[in-house]
Structure 1
Amino acid sequence: MSSRLPGETARPGTADGDGAVVEVLHGRRVADPFRWLEDPDSPATAAWLAERDREFAAAARSWPLRVRLAEDIRALVRADLWSPPERRGDTVFATLRAAGAEHPRLLARTPDGQRTVFDPAAFDPSGRTTLDAWEPSPDGRLVAVQTSRDGTERGALRVLDARTGLPVEEPLHGLRYTHVAWLPGPGAPAFYYVRRDGHGGRRGVWLHRVHGPGPHVDVLVHACAAPRTVPGVRLRHGRWLLITESHGTGHRNDVWIADLAGRSAERPPLLPVHVGLEAESEADVGPDGTLYLRTTLDAPRRRLCATTPAAPSPSNWREVLPEDPETTLDGFAVTGRAGSAAGVRVLAVRTRLGISELTAHDPRDGRVLQRLPLPGEGMATRLEPSADGGAHLCYADVATQQVVLVLRPGGTSLVPWPESGAAVPPDPGGLPAQSPGTAPAPAPGGVRPAAGIARRVLWCRSADGTRVPVTVLSPAGPGGRPGPTILHGYGGFGRPRQFGFSATVLAWLRAGGRYAVAHVRGGGDAGREWHLRGARRAKIRAVQDLLAAADQLVAAGVCGRDQLCLSGGSAGGLLVLAAAALRPDVGAAVIASAPLADMVRFERLGLGAMWTREFGTVADPGDFAALLSYSPYHLALAAADRPRPAVLLTGFHGDTRTDAAHPRKMCAALLAAGPGQRPVLLRYERGVGHGPRAVTRAIDLAADAHAFAAAETGLSPRR
């Protein structure tokens, strides 16, 4: 297998005397002794994995908190979990994962009652099929559902009769999280959808007309001009077509709009909103006919602008909500009806170190009309306008399972949905109660801390002097002595760390542990600049930030070195593995779930080719040097005889994002150190991937990971 990328000064890999592959990349010899583990189905890989399975099973049996954590997590997630409702005519669609169920099912609620439209457990009794997305037609008679199997996140799009749940045509195959935008009006039902993995070699937006049995003949209405872009599509108010192209994961996109009124759906008259700019915008058209854009253009923490759809270029934008230097603008919704008594309002969700704030504004000048209190210190997500002129969102905090909250048209407060049978926050039993007659002190924005949980923010200084915040969660009450602590980090793709519900974190806190989150560069906790300062050749800064956070936890008396476990998944798995490789004394243990690890080969594994804006490319000499400097796999190979923390890696055979070759190869490199080192374990699962899975499998994974952390940091049962 050749390892060459366009522009590489490298020769194809050859084997040295012991069979290891060695390549010369930009004048440097790079050994890859475990390249053979990239083949997931070879007999050699299967035998190697069988041995890792035996090692993991033997170790897990000795962890004293394993059963207790699984029981607590199972109890904490045992609640009805609804998605936000989507109304079409007199039918309301939503998913419900009932208490104790393995998967959510899609329901249709009418004045006459409630019925199941699609149940993945009934569709596939093995439990290996997930419902990834769904979208009802404007009249509510049809619904498009997307499913995938074994965690691959590549699956089928099916059009179902919403009354019977039966398919009305053959499914569309080979799709990954496609967007679906139904066209309104009479005639044959039709929708736009996107293909991200190519169709006949092309990525883009397609028009599909539902026509019953027979082959599909879809029309390409917008082709992606550049490779490695991700198309998106949305149709607002049955008239305004919005198309986007995201360029890899670099937080840059292009946006177009078309007015379909009286125009051909096959040839929409697309106007560029912005194309070729170093900016990312989320566009929507309000009920007032105005085009609104939440954008990073001239605003790293995002601002909200407005313009007319007829002249949408940035030169015509007016600013509605300016950038806030202390918070990031994470979502917006334009609600109401033009000309109605309630008028049109802009709702905005801003986030301050993982905690959301919700406000209502006048769309003309951005004036604050109201501050809408949320139930506590948590996160508001999926803010969307409702068909009736109101809005809905999801809310969760560390001790509160996700609930759906609705703002009625012109309303001044959020109310739970559904009105009866809504999810009840789990009882955080086992956490210290507040003193009689007292209440938690209000936090900034007027919200209150999660019951029984103390939250504080520490600050550390990274290697270059940058101040980095670290949020620490602990059972409320006296601080006491240092105790077992999990430090979580992500630091990738501009994604902020937010504090929603985590049964795993809550169970860990109930057992007496502390949980910390390092808001490192590379993430989106402080906007676009914070992301870019920890991306590509500067990715090492994210690692340095995490190490500084670990040092601060020890210095502040939160934990001792032997009580600290680093934890991260995906890009966060890369972060914690690199930190431990560069500073083996950083803590007692590391949990790396579905991590990136071989940063010389990442572009050839999973979706790595899409991530060069985040990490760089081996084809570039400067990028290559930076990648090799923190690549956990290569650092482990170079320091096989050095002491290191205990390590738990998790890998998922169906992972099409980071690819399970990363944890396989990383485990082999760490094991090459030989006997006498702290344990290295690989928890490897078949039939699942990077994304959603059955509840039982998710519980088992979380319990195993945190039981490992407990065993290595000395957390023992309190009751």
Structure 2
Amino acid sequence: MRKISIFLVVLIFAACKTKKERNPIIVNYPITKKVDTIDTYFGTEVKDPYRWLEDDRSTETETWVRTQNKTTFGYLDSISFRDDLKNRLEKLWNYEKLGSPFKEGDYIYFYKNDGLQNQYVVYRKKEGGEEEVFLDPNTFSEDGTTSLMSLSFTKDGSKAAYLISEGGSDWRKGIVINTETKEIAEDTLVDIKFSGISWKGNDGFFYSSYDKPRGSELSAKTDQHKLYYHKLGTPQAEDKIVFGGISEQKHRYVGGYVSEDERYLFISASTSTSGNRLYLKDLTDPTSKLVTVLDDTESDTHIIENVGTKLYLVTNRNAPNKKIVVTDAADPVPNNWKDFIPETENVLTAGTGGGYFFTEYMVDAISKVLQYNYEGNLIREVELPGVGSAGGFGGKKEDKEFYFSFTNYNTPSSSYKYNVDTGKYDQYWKPEIDFNPSDYESKQVFYTSKDGTKVPMIITHKKGIELDGKNPTILYGYGGFNISLTPSFSIVNAIWMEQGGVYAVPNLRGGGEYGKKWHIAGTKMKKQNVFDDFITAAEYLIDNNYTSKEYLAIRGGSNGGLLVGATMTQRPDLMQVALPAVGVLDMLRYHTFTAGAGWAYDYGTAEESKEMFAYLKGYSPLHNVKEGTEYPATLITTGDHDDRVVPAHSFKFAAELQGKHTGENPTLIRIETNAGHGAGTPISKTIEQYADIFGFTLYNMGFEELPNQNVLKEFKD
């Protein structure tokens, strides 16, 4: 990239502040039929006129999807600068991307994308040798919609099993290969879901799945998870159930993983997305019984290491910010746990590698990494390359070096080679990208939410922008399921900021940034706290002149789609654009689809109690679209193969908006075909989607050309 003169920089920021009065694009919405469907909850009747859209296999729904897409793309095609955005996305995206290497057997493996490949390719090389392609998912399907979701090796590296997803579905197929010859070793396994693969020696492995549901496999309920053992060379139909099944207590999520020394099988069993029971089995004794480590679901607990019979567990039991405890496999119940690395004021995640423990703490959502020995003594704090998010601190016991990554909102992810004994590291790989991080800045602020709670938010933008309330701004949030939003670089956000945009991410309650208490404060009858935190974040940006109502867009996906839907229906006056993606939008019926019942820990259910029903109905986006209200310009996005949050949520919400909304703002739905919840989406589809989202957003903020045309021309030259 050539240097830009000071005079041009002035022109750039001047261009950001100018927008023309947009010429509204007339939208003729398809008429969505209504069917008299009524549910009764505790004596209250609730109409659901678009229930028929839940049938993802019907020709009527297929026709509706086609008609809606025709309307939406007709609108998007009228945005003159959408192709410029797509071209810029392709140009910026087209750089080599490399994942952190890892060693298996005699080889070092790594994921790499040459630039615009739809899927990352797995390469390998021997120490000092030439790299070669090991697995290329781009060859799995012509359109790039079949993706590699996981890859697991035997301890000696001689065999591997990998899981693939077709069309973005959560249902996986499993394939076993000989790593030396790269030949497929046996028939493909099918119908694996919410599972990894954990090898036991070279003879077989453990995996998890559900019975295939009756009806649609994309939307029918699945809530009896089972752990299986597959012995190589035998039909899948003969795989033995190791845990789960009709005779035992129902669990919606079951996972099994083998210890590094292959002595134990550890089994985690959950009824929801939070809390798990924990068991172990001694694999050295074929007659051994399951031993209960933890027989309740009041905590999130897992075993990260063992030395012989000594077990090390990470838990938030009586420690909301998590700690590491130690116990013995002979009697591993909580009464026998002893603190190994005690709880601190910051949230802990932990791993092991090279004979050490590595604890990563979130300090106001920023990474801090400490290294301990097996006696629990602090060896050092790892001095990270900057302020941001670190990942990958861990490896095998014999590894004396491993690789970690570092990133933040304005720094593309780089990898570093770390020596566990000295604590020294060197940069292993840095991307060569057409983006200069020094032109941008991130600032963390703390604002006061409605009830007085302090909430952090990181605001990132180009240096030198004028705080005059006219900067196009995306406010992104999640706020749920104990998930933390930590700083990371995104090409699409780089494009937004390059155009003079502001990107703001608050760490809302419901997330995990401040431990279990922060999570609980945004669940069930406290879910409104999450929406209040988000609304207050928007008000902060407006009050401090980063933006104004006319230049503000709110965005979120999945649980974040619920966040956007609830915010736009509660405060339609607050933003110009709303972008709910793959959202949970029908809060009265979410638990009747696929694995949705497992989300009840966060949401509660409409059948749970009269009070819970009233609370859910009070904020459910689908049930709070009001007749005659002017809603912000809305682009709903979903995938027709999304079997995590079924597209019916988005379908019904779009129908409600189109039927009741008033004013000129468009309310559209963009339905990606042969795509799921997001993971494994081909790069080509991702680029098209973001060109549409940003084009829609800027156009509805009043721009008839890209804000920074000068920058675009400079990069084109």
With structure 1 as the length reference, what TM-score do the two structures score? 0.87
- Report how far residue 276 of structure 1 moved: 0.4
- Report how far residue 504 of structure 1 moved: 1.1
2:366 to 352, 355, 358: 355
- Report how far residue 52 of structure 1 moved: 1.7
Distance 1:692 1:632 in 2: 28
Map 1:497-512 → 2, pairs under 5 A: 497-512=485-500
Distance 1:282 1:407 in 2: 26
Partner of 1:52: 68
Map 1:143-222 → 2, pairs under 5 A: 143-184=160-201, 189-196=203-210, 203-211=225-233, 214=235, 216-222=237-243
Partner of 1:230: 253
Helix, strand or coil at the partner of 2:177: strand
Distance 1:607 1:646 in 2: 31
Q: Is residue 717 from structure 1 mapped to residue 707 from structure 2 by the alignment? A: yes
Q: Is residue 372 from structure 1 mapped to residue 372 from structure 2 by the alignment? A: no
Relative distance call for 1:220 and 1:198 in structure 2 (3 A) is farther
Partner of 2:353: 335
- Report how far residue 562 of structure 1 moved: 1.1
Distance 2:224 2:288 in 1: 19
- Report how far residue 53 of structure 1 moved: 1.5
1:633 to 622, 628, 632: 622
- Report how far residue 714 of structure 1 moved: 4.2
Residues 240 and 257 of structure 1 are in contact (CA less than 8 Å); yes or no, is this contact kept in structure 2?
A: no
Number of residue pairs matched by the alignment: 660
Q: Is residue 141 from structure 1 mapped to residue 158 from structure 2 by the alignment? A: yes
- Report how far residue 657 of structure 1 moved: 0.5
More displaced, 146-155 or 353-362? 353-362
Helix, strand or coil at the partner of 1:516: strand
Distance 1:19 1:134 in 2: 46
Helix, strand or coil at the partner of 2:238: coil
Residue type matched to 1:410 in 2? D
Distance 1:317 1:196 in 2: 33
1:256 to 248, 257, 279: 279
Partner of 1:432: none
Distance 1:260 1:109 in 2: 33
Distance 1:202 1:248 in 2: 9
Helix, strand or coil at the partner of 1:383: coil
- Report how far residue 593 of structure 1 moved: 0.6
Residues 648 and 681 of structure 1 are in contact (CA less than 8 Å); yes or no, is this contact kept in structure 2?
A: yes
Distance 1:18 1:203 in 2: 36
Higher relative contact order (CA 8 A, sep 6+): 2
Q: Is residue 613 from structure 1 mapped to residue 637 from structure 2 by the alignment? A: no
Map 1:180-579 → 2, pairs under 5 A: 180-184=197-201, 189-196=203-210, 203-211=225-233, 214=235, 216-223=237-244, 225-261=248-284, 263-264=285-286, 267-286=287-306, 290-325=310-345, 327-329=346-348, 331-336=349-354, 344-367=355-378, 369-386=379-396, 387-417=398-428, 422-424=429-431, 426-429=433-436, 451-477=438-464, 479-482=466-469, 483-579=471-567
Residues 303 and 311 of structure 2 are in contact (CA less than 8 Å); yes or no, is this contact kept in structure 1?
A: yes
Partner of 2:571: 583
Helix, strand or coil at the partner of 1:67: helix
Partner of 2:218: none
Q: Which runs of 5+ in 1 are unaligned?
A: 1-16, 337-343, 430-449
Distance 1:260 1:44 in 2: 53
How big is each residue's C-alpha offset from its partner over 1:466-519, in whole Å with a ceiling of 9 and x where there is no partner?
A: 222222112123543221111111111110111112111111111101011121
Distance 2:465 2:40 in 1: 57
More displaced, 251-260 or 214-223? 214-223
- Report how far residue 300 of structure 1 moved: 1.2
Distance 1:358 1:219 in 2: 41
Identity in percent: 25
Helix, strand or coil at the partner of 1:135: strand
Q: Is residue 119 from structure 1 mapped to residue 139 from structure 2 by the alignment? A: no
Relative distance call for 1:202 and 1:524 in structure 2 (3 A) is closer
Residue type matched to 1:658 in 2? V
Partner of 1:438: none
Q: Which runs of 5+ in 2 are unaligned?
A: 1-32, 214-221, 711-717
Distance 2:563 2:236 in 1: 47
Residue type matched to 1:509 in 2? M
Residues 242 and 257 of structure 1 are in contact (CA less than 8 Å); yes or no, is this contact kept in structure 2?
A: yes
Distance 2:117 2:504 in 1: 30
Residues 650 and 682 of structure 1 are in contact (CA less than 8 Å); yes or no, is this contact kept in structure 2?
A: yes
> Deviating runs (4+, > 6 A) in structure 1?
198-201
Partner of 1:35: 51
Residue type matched to 1:634 in 2? H
How big is each residue's C-alpha offset from its partner over 1:253-282, in whole Å with a ceiling of 9 and x where there is no partner?
A: 122233433x12xx5443222220411023
How big is each residue's C-alpha offset from its partner over 1:512-531, in whole Å with a ceiling of 9 and x where there is no partner?
A: 01011121111112111111
Relative distance call for 1:349 and 1:73 in structure 2 (3 A) is farther
2:612 to 607, 623, 636: 623
More displaced, 647-656 or 609-618? 609-618
Partner of 1:437: none
- Report how far residue 250 of structure 1 moved: 4.0
With structure 2 as the length reference, what TM-score do the two structures score? 0.87
Q: Is residue 107 from structure 1 mapped to residue 123 from structure 2 by the alignment? A: yes
Helix, strand or coil at the partner of 1:521: coil
Residue type matched to 2:649 in 1? H
RMSD of Structure 2 on Structure 1 (CA): 2.5
Distance 2:269 2:347 in 1: 20
Residue type matched to 1:22 in 2? I
Residues 400 and 426 of structure 1 are in contact (CA less than 8 Å); yes or no, is this contact kept in structure 2?
A: no
Helix, strand or coil at the partner of 2:243: strand
More displaced, 29-38 or 247-256? 247-256
Helix, strand or coil at the partner of 2:652: helix
How big is each residue's C-alpha offset from its partner over 1:388-433, in whole Å with a ceiling of 9 and x where there is no partner?
A: 244433332223333343323413123344xxxx35152424xxxx
- Report how far residue 65 of structure 1 moved: 4.5
Distance 1:479 1:291 in 2: 55
Distance 2:327 2:292 in 1: 13
More displaced, 497-506 or 54-63? 54-63
Residues 460 and 468 of structure 1 are in contact (CA less than 8 Å); yes or no, is this contact kept in structure 2?
A: yes
Partner of 2:29: none
Relative distance call for 1:289 and 1:556 in structure 2 (3 A) is farther
Relative distance call for 1:289 and 1:616 in structure 2 (3 A) is same
Residue type matched to 2:506 in 1? A
Relative distance call for 1:318 and 1:476 in structure 2 (3 A) is farther
Relative distance call for 1:712 and 1:400 in structure 2 (3 A) is same
Relative distance call for 1:414 and 1:288 in structure 2 (3 A) is farther
